[in-house]
């Protein structure tokens, strides 16, 4: 360890009123002083890995992250090797298309048991709508109903769900609104569970990449999938949706969004949680849908991701005695709890957003009636 890296680290934390060895929930305890050099060299990648390795602890990492972001000190940090590598990789190749299935193998297919314990009863892995809800189950049902109403679903409509997860949305829409649905995903574990739980509902699920799909649909929904598309592919994604949507249809896009335009994801999250993940900006979405769609509505309820993530964290911690073992070891526990608290802090600080957008191919005659 160099003395300069420690003093720099302490100064950055002090600017955010965070103390090493302090007693507040957001203060840090450093167990290995190699942390300072590691963070200066590799930025958040090094910081997150150091947490996984037990080099530092904090009673509430979510509060630490939110405090760091609100203070503005993160924006003043020098660029690090981890970020440079991530930026270079995203510029030189198209990882989202080169490794289409990587995120399924490394994240969504790691175990349905994990997600069944962590998520709500419908296994919805996206932001809940907490406007009038007090429980995770209620917040997720409110979100599903909100999307159905925004899409104007009616009995008999053919609905496509791009990135259908464990099938919760289509099953809800079929039960409550009488639609017929096709869900597509690149996760074999999701297809297997969604199909097994579909029963007699007029919904089916396929293991297929969205670019390979053909046909026409009255409504298209995409919930929490656009984060895996990548900035080089945003335009092609909207072109494919337009090809699949009838002329008088509606497309509802539900995605995490970034306050600033970026061309690479967070190095730690890319390596350990969402391979090739990338969050779109307002500018990128605007350019991607131009001359293809009319943007009818844009709804931001990113603050609701904080309680959603904290509910997932509570479920995960409560279920850990049942989950832990050879597949989910102690390092996985630290990685997973850090992931959930990291994103809770990002949303709590309003550094990230959650957007629901409604698009129509030619504009709704007489205007779209907003739903909330």
pLDDT on residue 1? 54
Q: Is there a single domain that holds both residue 230 and residue 356?
A: yes
Q: Is there a single domain that holds both residue 111 and residue 238?
A: yes
Q: Tell me, yes or no, whether 23 lies in a domain.
A: yes
Helix (H, G, I), strand (E, B) or coil at 160: strand
**Do the Cβ atoms of 73 and 18 come closer than 8 Å?**
no
Q: Is there a single domain that holds both residue 125 and residue 241?
A: yes
Q: Is there a single domain that holds both residue 119 and residue 68?
A: no
Q: Tell me, yes or no, whether 146 lies in a domain.
A: yes
Q: Tell me, yes or no, whether 21 lies in a domain.
A: yes
pLDDT on residue 87? 80
pLDDT on residue 57? 97
Q: Is there a single domain that holds both residue 55 and residue 138?
A: no
Q: Tell me, yes or no, whether 60 lies in a domain.
A: yes
Number of domains in the chain: 2
Q: Is there a single domain that holds both residue 259 and residue 290?
A: yes
Confidence band for 275, pLDDT divided at 50, 70 and 90: very high
Place of tokens 């289409």: 100
Residue ending a domain, choose from 78, 111, 130 = 78
CA distance 351 to 256: 11
213: which 2 tokens?
Answer: 């799909």
Q: Tell me, yes or no, whether 197 lies in a domain.
A: yes
Residue 190 has pLDDT above 70, yes or no: yes
Mean pLDDT (whole number) for 309-315: 98
CATH of the domain at 350: 3.40.50.150
Q: Is there a single domain that holds both residue 273 and residue 312?
A: yes
Helix (H, G, I), strand (E, B) or coil at 4: helix
pLDDT on residue 215? 97
pLDDT on residue 2? 67
Q: Is there a single domain that holds both residue 108 and residue 56?
A: no
Domain span including residue 31: 3-78
Residue with more model confidence, 84 or 43: 43
Q: Is there a single domain that holds both residue 217 and residue 294?
A: yes
Mean pLDDT (whole number) for 147-154: 98
Q: What is each CA distance from 15 to 41, 69, 70, 341, in whole angstroms?
A: 20, 11, 11, 21
Residue ending a domain, choose from 78, 111, 143 = 78
Q: 256: closest CA among 93, 126, 344?
A: 126
Residue-wise DSSP of 252-302? EEEEEEESS--SS--HHHHHHTSTT----BHHHHHHHHTTT-EEEEEEE-G
Residue 88 has pLDDT above 80, yes or no: no
Mean pLDDT (whole number) for 20-49: 95
Q: What is each CA distance from 95 to 87, 164, 181, 241, 321, in whole angstroms?
A: 12, 22, 30, 21, 36
Confidence band for 95, pLDDT divided at 50, 70 and 90: confident
Q: Tell me, yes or no, whether 152 lies in a domain.
A: yes
Q: Is there a single domain that holds both residue 110 and residue 254?
A: yes
Q: Is there a single domain that holds both residue 221 and residue 356?
A: yes
Q: Tell me, yes or no, whether 95 lies in a domain.
A: no
Residue 44 has pLDDT above 70, yes or no: yes
Q: Tell me, yes or no, whether 370 lies in a domain.
A: no
Residue 126 has pLDDT above 90, yes or no: yes
Q: Is there a single domain that holds both residue 193 and residue 115?
A: yes
Residues 218-262 have pLDDT tens digits of 999 999 999 999 999 999 999 999 999 999 999 999 999 999 999
Beta-bridged to residue 223, according to DSSP, are 254
Kindly report the pTM of this predicted structure.
0.96
């Amino acid at each position: 360890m160099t003395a300069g890296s420690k003093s720099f680290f302490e100064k950055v934390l002090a600017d955010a009123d965070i103390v090493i060895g302090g007693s507040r929930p957001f203060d840090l305890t450093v167990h290995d002083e190699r942390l300072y050099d590691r963070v200066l060299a590799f930025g958040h990648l090094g910081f997150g890995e150091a947490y996984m390795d037990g080099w530092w602890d904090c009673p509430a990492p979510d509060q630490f992250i939110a405090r760091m972001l609100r203070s503005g000190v993160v924006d003043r940090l020098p660029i690090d090797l981890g970020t440079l590598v991530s930026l270079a990789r995203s510029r030189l190749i198209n990882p989202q298309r080169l490794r289409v299935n990587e995120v399924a193998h490394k994240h969504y297919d790691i175990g349905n048991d994990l997600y069944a314990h962590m998520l709500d009863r419908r296994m919805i892995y996206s932001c809940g709508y907490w406007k009038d809800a007090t429980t995770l189950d209620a917040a997720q049902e409110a979100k599903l109903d909100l999307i159905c109403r925004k899409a104007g679903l009616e009995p008999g409509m053919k609905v496509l769900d791009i990135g259908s997860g464990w099938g919760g949305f289509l099953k809800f829409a079929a039960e409550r609104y009488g639609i017929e649905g096709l869900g597509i995903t690149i996760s074999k574990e999701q297809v297997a569970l969604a199909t097994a739980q579909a029963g007699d509902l007029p919904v089916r699920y396929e293991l297929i990449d969205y670019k390979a799909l053909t046909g026409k649909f009255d409504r298209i929904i995409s919930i929490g999938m656009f984060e895996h598309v990548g900035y080089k592919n945003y335009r092609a994604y909207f072109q494919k949706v337009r090809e699949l949507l009838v002329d008088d249809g509606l497309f509802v896009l539900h995605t995490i969004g970034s306050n600033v335009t970026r061309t690479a994801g967070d190095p730690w999250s890319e390596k350990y949680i969402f391979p090739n993940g990338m969050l779109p900006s307002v500018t990128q979405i605007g350019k991607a849908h131009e001359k293809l769609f009319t943007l009818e509505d844009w709804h931001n309820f990113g603050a609701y991701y904080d309680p959603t993530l904290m509910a997932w964290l509570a479920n995960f911690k409560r279920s850990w005695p049942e989950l832990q073992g050879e597949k989910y070891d102690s390092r996985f526990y630290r990685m997973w709890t850090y992931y959930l608290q990291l994103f809770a802090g990002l949303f709590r600080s309003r550094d990230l957003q959650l957007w629901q957008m409604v698009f129509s191919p030619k504009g709704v005659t007489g205007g779209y009636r907003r739903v909330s």
